[in-house]
Chain A
């Protein structure tokens, strides 16, 4: 119920249908120029250095918004998720969807005790260049440099981007034998991927 109220409140704030004090409207935000936006982002990590505010790894324990993760280099990290942390797992979802065994990328701010206070977490996300070897009902078989991958089409979620035009839910222009790039959520320890977005030529 609380989340419904929150959604209603936030909708009102942005659409101006509710009188909300303290909300900064678009007109008072200052310059809309892209340069202004770019200027606000600073890169504090030099090339070749490890970014302390980024973690990659597999979840080995998950409880109460705290994830324990081992990275490829065997280092361990604690990652704190809060209500302000975006969690992606095929689609934007909630922190409780982080499960043991999931692959993870996390970006955030390193705290004094070494915990990463995560701003954004992507679970099992993969980005693959493939070619489509066959198409079936709710499934696409993909070849990723000789590795066979089963891509599951998820109704209502899987989108296609043809020739860099806006994403659509119509997948009927995908063709067998053609190259594609897919963003999806890996099913841990399988060769199966739930498809989020398929980029292809049509």
Chain B
């Protein structure tokens, strides 16, 4: 049983490596966003990225093709450990950079990347106990081995932020379409809409040069939203009071009054 499971690790490991290699070779310019830029310098980043891809390609092909030799598996595990080291380096020295592992998506190094490298290393160690070439193992125990492979592949995909746009986002989009979590809100006229309307009005533009502050206060008065700004006129400080239609968009109807501060003081006594 355990030997069969060990044997199919080769195809998992090999498959992921081939996939990683192909993605890297197709878009080598992604190297510019990875921590390789920091590790080997900007000049050699693309070359190093290609070199990693070639190593992955060769090792992936060896793992998938017969015969099953333990040394391939150990190399796979070593690559996984090396990846862990690289991720650690990236996290410490270039936290803003992408992993670059499985595609050119901008994906900063996070826990998922480490877990995935760990899974790869573990699969490599397990693969070293393989006794047969993987198709033989699958034929031997089709249900168990294929089930395991599917589960492991799903785990790798789940741990790959590069692939989120393929399954996670569509899933979330679908969930939001079913029932939008923000749909059942009370219907209020946002202050922002009154501010927009106010800024489009001639009344606002006519006193704009005298306004000193941003919006001071606002309240509703029947069909109007009253909005106040601090202003300065030739006669001294004042309050600019605007009345903006609350329910309609009618910037031409916006009203304004400039109330001198002295006048306000009178009302307070």
Contacts and interface: CB of A to CB of B under 8 A. Distances in A.
A135 B206 contact: no
Interface centre among A7, A10, A39, A174 (most CB of B within 10 A): A10
B188 A29 contact: no
A29 B258 contact: yes
Contact of A31 (B96, B206, B249): B206
Contacts of B58: none
Interface string B39-74: 000000000000000000000000000000000000
A22 B260 contact: yes
Interface in B189-221: 189-193, 196-197, 202-203, 205-210, 212-219, 221
A135 B181 CA distance: 7
A120 B183 CA distance: 34
A29 B267 contact: no
Contacts of A9: 259, 264, 267
A196 interface: yes
B192 A167 contact: yes
Interface residues on A, range: 35 or more
Interface string A158-175: 110100001111111011
Nearest to A109: B212
* Most B-side CB within 10 Å, residue of A30, A155, A167: A167
A26 interface: yes
A192 interface: no
A146 interface: yes
A84 B230 contact: yes
A120 B213 contact: yes
Interface stretch (A13-21, A62-70, A96-104): A13-21
A30 B241 CA distance: 16
Contact of A41 (B209, B217, B238, B268): B209
Interface stretch (A43-51, A72-80, A85-93): A85-93
Contact of A24 (B96, B249, B257, B262): B257
Given A7-B219, A23-B263, A159-B190, A29 B207 contact: yes
B206 A37 contact: yes
Interface residues on B, range: 35 or more
Contacts of B181: 135-138
A7 B202 CA distance: 23
Given A40-B210, A146-B96, A170 B264 contact: no
Contact of A175 (B176, B191, B214, B249): B176
Interface string B226-269: 10111001000111011100000100000111111011100110
Contacts of A136: 181
Nearest to A159: B190
B162 to A, nearest CB: 13
6 contacts: A24-B258, A40-B210, A135-B181, A159-B191, A170-B185, A177-B173
Given A20-B259, A138-B181, 7 more contacts: A7-B219, A24-B233, A41-B209, A86-B229, A145-B106, A172-B180, A177-B172
Interface of A: 2, 5-7, 9-11, 13-16, 20-26, 29-34, 36-41, 84-86, 88, 91-92, 119-120, 122, 133-138, 140, 145-146, 153, 155-159, 161, 166-172, 174-177, 196-197
Interface of B: 96, 106-108, 165, 169, 172-173, 176, 180-183, 185-193, 196-197, 202-203, 205-210, 212-219, 221, 224, 226, 228-230, 233, 237-239, 241-243, 249, 255-260, 262-264, 267-268
